Structure 1
Amino acid sequence: MIRVESMSEPIGALLGVVAETMGMSGDGLRLLLGSIGMLLLALSFHRHGQKGSVQAAAAGWILLGLFVYLRSEYYVKIDDPLLILMTAMALPGGILLAMMEIRDARNEVSDESLVWFRGMVAWAMIPYHLVYSIPFLNIAVVMLTASSAEWMLEFAGMGQYTLGEVMVELHDGGEVTLSAWGGNMWILTEPLGEGGFFVPMYHADGAPVHIAFILSCSGLQSMIIFVGAIAALRTVSLNRRLRGLFIAVPTIHVLNTFRNAGIVWLSHSYSDWIFMGLNMFDFAHSYAAKAASLFAMFLMAIALFDLLPELHRHIMRFIPPSLWPKKQESVSES
């Protein structure tokens, strides 16, 4: 009898059986599929026009779609409806992109925007997973995020706080200090719990805030979207791409620091607030902050479109023409 540890939906259950048969964990198989997908997309982007690039891209889209889709199990557990929807749509989206790749190849058409999208996804996901998989980098980003939020809270006069020791959430439950963790600091060779490496926050008097900072709090996911989108602009000069990155990355870090500090302050100041079963932390973290982040990214994109119109052109290629804004026609009187 094979014990399936994955979620009960058919695709996750099937991959759970495959992982068990291969002697791997479900997370290990998911990461393997995702890594292969990322490499295939990167290869097809840099070898565009060469034999096999389209097939590599099609396979890469499906594997990456599956990789992201399987993450929806976690967001179901934490009841995050926005990310549930986004991750659940990844697999059908990946299949659709693979079909577009094959269609263009059969019609002997080269869609430059689709090629750009290959590079964008590859060079957004590869750096993120390098940071995730190298504990030194992972912890450095978490510490920067926590320290920035602490500084912002104290600078704004929202209280005095201090950070605790870096902790590690273990895969089988429980947590240990980083100094007591026996894992490899250069490459993550064992699965961790959902929190991974995290830094708890305390009040200056030592009382716990009951909030900890993890890699997902860093805003790195938002940064890498812009990093990938800008890096994949093959026809744009390096100087303009660097200027775009200089605008996007520091701005996102500052906005994310405001977000984290705001969540901490609201959670502490309105600890008894309840709305439809949600406490202030859940409401601010899962709804208000995400809505504000999406709006901020929208404004960021508009600002970058002025510097990088090529980016705007590629994005518009993926929007149905029926949704394009209609141009107003001027009528001249004779």
Structure 2
Amino acid sequence: MRLSSGNVMFLAKEVATIAGAIGMVMLAISWHKRHNEGVSRLAQTGWVLVGIYFFNDSMYYFELGDIVLTIMTALALPIAVALVIAEARSLTSRDRAALNWARGCVAYAGGPYLLVAHIPWLSVLAIWFVASQVAMFLSFTGTIDIKLGETMVNTDAGQVSWSEWDGNKWFMTDGFGEHPFQTELIMADGGAIGINFVLACTALQSMIVFIGAISVLDVDRKRRIRALLFTIPIIHILNLFRNAGLIWMHLSYEGWEYLGLSMFEFGHSYASRVVSLFAMFVMAIAMFELLPELHRHILRLLEAAGLRKKKTKPSS
């Protein structure tokens, strides 16, 4: 266990990230070679490494008091072990297809996100892209006139502006604090709002999950494109509303507190999270209607991993 800057982790973050990246590459290779013999061993190693990567953050989220992410990351390793066991089983062709889909889904959802999260330029561009649209939306609706302020880099040594930061802007090699890149939102007259925009505010994580799950399905390309065009823009628009709403509540109910939480803290940590989870649930239901293969894969995957009892037809 490693204790650094008040954050508890089982492995050094750099080690866990490298392990996760290697694991996702292994899963991607095993997905592309899914029709070949002997790729299950490669996939098994990939599952373990990816499970360790996500599990490594569980204590960090526990320290932050984020119960939802603590549970989700803590379950990553047991689920990975279950998938390793499933890889070794003699499965039906349909169950094997579901397991192959899971390999591609994790590889092509987690891989691109890791890439964005660890290439500073991509992280900052993603932040600017969404934050500028939130500012435009608030200004267009006449709610409030805001603009983007300075982008800061949160290093272990302290904060420094993006323009003055002399670190590697093409790959994260330096030590960073929580939320490495932050763009300040300010009033049009330069007044402070007290809100910074970070990568987590872009909803990239939510979008990439659907991109990974849909793009590796063995279905007609037109159906995949239709599903992506249905989900990604909707998630992006809902996220713009979410961010704009949080800013509006923060400015409209300044000084409001409940159980020691400000309006922004309550909205950000609880209200918007519940709404976001519900929206993701509704989106998943819609996806199951558009792509029933996706639903079948998930159910078969749970059965193959022993997490769901397999239904058997009653004997006559």
TM-score by length of 2: 0.89
- 2:3 aligned counterpart, secondary structure: coil
Q: Cα 1:204–1:120, aligned 2, differ >3 Å: closer, same or farther?
A: same
Q: Which amino acid in 2 is paired with 1:187? A: F
Residue 100 of structure 2 corresponds to residue 115 of structure 1: yes
Q: Which has the higher contact order (CA 8 A, sep 6+)?
A: 2
- The structure 1 residue matched to 2:52, chosen from 43, 66, 78, is 66
* Unpaired segments ≥5 residues, structure 1: 16-25, 325-334
- The structure 1 residue matched to 2:77, chosen from 81, 85, 91, is 91
Partner of 2:314: none
- 1:98 aligned counterpart, secondary structure: helix
Partner of 2:297: 314
- How far, CA to CA, are the matches of 2:227 and 2:215 in structure 1? 10
Tell me by how many angstroms 1:95 deviates.
1.2
Partner of 1:57: 43
Partner of 1:140: 125
Partner of 1:150: 135
Tell me by how many angstroms 1:59 deviates.
1.4
Q: Cα 1:104–1:214, aligned 2, differ >3 Å: closer, same or farther?
A: farther
- How far, CA to CA, are the matches of 1:29 and 1:186 in structure 2? 19
- The structure 2 residue matched to 1:290, chosen from 246, 249, 273, is 273
State whether residues 34 and 64 of structure 1, in contact with CA within 8 Å, keep that contact through their aligned partners in structure 2.
yes
- How far, CA to CA, are the matches of 2:21 and 2:38 in structure 1? 19
Q: Cα 1:213–1:8, aligned 2, differ >3 Å: closer, same or farther?
A: closer
Partner of 1:37: 23
- How far, CA to CA, are the matches of 1:155 and 1:8 in structure 2? 41
- The structure 2 residue matched to 1:82, chosen from 26, 43, 68, is 68
Tell me by how many angstroms 1:204 deviates.
2.2
Q: Cα 1:63–1:296, aligned 2, differ >3 Å: closer, same or farther?
A: same
- How far, CA to CA, are the matches of 1:228 and 1:66 in structure 2? 20
Q: Cα 1:74–1:247, aligned 2, differ >3 Å: closer, same or farther?
A: same
Structure 1 segment 1-334 matched on structure 2, within 5 A: 4-5=2-3, 12-13=9-10, 15=11, 26-104=12-90, 111-170=96-155, 172-233=156-217, 235-318=218-301
Q: Which amino acid in 2 is paired with 1:69? A: F
Q: Which amino acid in 2 is paired with 1:272? A: G
State whether residues 7 and 60 of structure 2, in contact with CA within 8 Å, keep that contact through their aligned partners in structure 1.
no
How many corresponding residue pairs?
306
- How far, CA to CA, are the matches of 1:109 and 1:149 in structure 2? 44
Q: Which amino acid in 2 is paired with 1:267? A: H
Tell me by how many angstroms 1:103 deviates.
2.3
- CA deviations on 1:14-68 (whole Å, 9 max, x unpaired) are x3xxxxxxxxxx1210111111111111111111142431111111111111101
- 1:179 aligned counterpart, secondary structure: coil
Tell me by how many angstroms 1:321 deviates.
6.1
Tell me by how many angstroms 1:301 deviates.
1.9
- 1:104 aligned counterpart, secondary structure: coil
Q: Cα 1:310–1:108, aligned 2, differ >3 Å: closer, same or farther?
A: closer
- CA deviations on 1:60-87 (whole Å, 9 max, x unpaired) are 1111111011112332233211111111
State whether residues 7 and 63 of structure 2, in contact with CA within 8 Å, keep that contact through their aligned partners in structure 1.
no
Tell me by how many angstroms 1:8 deviates.
9.1
Q: Which amino acid in 1 is paired with 2:149? A: G
* Unpaired segments ≥5 residues, structure 2: 312-316
- 1:159 aligned counterpart, secondary structure: coil
- How far, CA to CA, are the matches of 2:206 and 2:114 in structure 1? 14
State whether residues 27 and 191 of structure 1, in contact with CA within 8 Å, keep that contact through their aligned partners in structure 2.
no
**Alignment RMSD (CA, Å):** 2.4
Tell me by how many angstroms 1:187 deviates.
2.4
Q: Cα 1:290–1:65, aligned 2, differ >3 Å: closer, same or farther?
A: same
Q: Which amino acid in 1 is paired with 2:288? A: F
State whether residues 231 and 283 of structure 2, in contact with CA within 8 Å, keep that contact through their aligned partners in structure 1.
yes
TM-score by length of 1: 0.85
Q: Which amino acid in 1 is paired with 2:227? A: G
Q: Cα 1:314–1:108, aligned 2, differ >3 Å: closer, same or farther?
A: closer
- How far, CA to CA, are the matches of 1:150 and 1:260 in structure 2? 10
